[in-house]
Amino acid sequence: MADPILSLDKVVAGYGDTTVLHGVSFDVPEGQRLAIIGRNGVGKTTLLSTIMGLTQMHSGQVTMRGHVIDKVAPHRRAGTGLGLVPQTRDIFPSLSVEENLLSGMRGDATLEEAYTLFPRLKDRRRNGGGQLSGGEQQMLAIARTLMGRPDVLMLDEPLEGLAPVICDMLMETFETLAADRRHTLLLVEQHTELALNFADRVIILDAGEIVHDANAETLRADPSIVDRHVGVGLTGA
């Protein structure tokens, strides 16, 4: 087996004195499509935030391509190959679409790439971020993160609150990004069926711990496992 691109080892983390993650360990091989699911409040966002260095890590280790990054400041973690599209879809509402994209740009990334992936953003490039629809804001948040040239792209509930037609379009985009294993994708999603159809592997979190870690096929074949831990069944999509 090749070395993992991202590794968490017994990560204990939270906010101030509050511990949310109670010893989370997993390795992500390069190019994997990993879905992370679980009920509200179990620590999915905290997990992605911790990988980006945005929480207090009490113990454990996060490793990217063999380098421990625990001491790397959050704003420098993009430089290690990590990119996060937060659940809050952080964009600058008063900047234009184009300015938003330029603000995330690193290395040899180009606006044209963003516009090829999301032609809609090209039509809207002179509009303010705050003038966009929810779906367009999510496209912009994703495109802006991609301008940072991440190897590992983390998406925190990217479909939340969006119309089914936009959800389908975004899932196709994630397929494109994952094709040829160009990106490693960590997808946190409440639309369990869409997440399971997309993923190679699924981690189920409950109360800050991994309660299930299996290939997606196993869970697709036995939805009762998901029902037991997530309790929404496969009707969430």
Ligand X SMILES: Nc1ncnc2c1ncn2[C@@H]1O[C@H](COP(=O)(O)OP(=O)(O)O)[C@@H](O)[C@H]1O
Residues that bind ligand X (CB under 6 A): 15, 18, 20, 38, 40-46
| Residue in this structure with the two tokens 């032609």, named with its chain if needed | 119
**Which of ligand X, Mg ion, none interacts with 40 (beta carbon under 5 to 8 A by kind)?**
ligand X
Is residue 237 helix, strand or coil?
coil
Residues in region 155-184 near Mg ion by CB under 5 A: none
Verify binding: residue 190, Mg ion, rule CB under 5 A.
Answer: no
Shortest Cβ 21–Mg ion spacing (Å): 13
Collapsing DSSP to helix, strand or coil, 89 comes out as coil
Q: Where are the beta strands (DSSP E) in the chain?
A: 4-15, 18-29, 33-37, 56-64, 67-68, 82-85, 152-156, 184-188, 201-206, 209-215
With CB cut-offs between 5 and 8 Å by kind, which of Mg ion, ligand X, none does residue 46 bind?
ligand X
Which residue's CB is nearer to ligand X, number 25 or number 110?
Answer: 25
Question: Which residues are registered as beta bridge partners of 24?
Answer: 11
Nearer to Mg ion, 66 or 231 (CB): 231
Other C-beta atoms closer than 10 Å to the C-beta of 209 total 14
Which of the stretches 51-59, 60-68, 83-91, 176-184 binds Mg ion when contact is defined by CB under 5 A? 83-91
> Choosing among Mg ion, ligand X, none, which partner's interface includes residue 24 (Cβ < 5 to 8 Å by kind)?
none
Q: Least CB distance from residue 127 to Mg ion, whole Å?
A: 28
The sign of the dihedral angle between the CA atoms of 236, 176, 105, 79 is positive
49 near Mg ion (CB under 5 A):
no
> Minimum Å distance from CB 119 to Mg ion?
29
> 166: which DSSP letter?
H
Residue 55 vs residues 50, 110, 121, 170, 192: alpha-carbon distances, Å: 5, 31, 32, 28, 26
* Minimum CB distance to ligand X smaller for 20 or for 203: 20
Judged by CB under 5 A, does residue 45 bind Mg ion?
Answer: yes
Contact 196, 216 (CB under 8 A): yes
CB of 49 to ligand X, least distance (A): 7
The nearer residue to ligand X, 41 or 93, going by C-beta atoms, is 41
- Which residues bind to Mg ion, rule: CB under 5 A? 44-45, 87
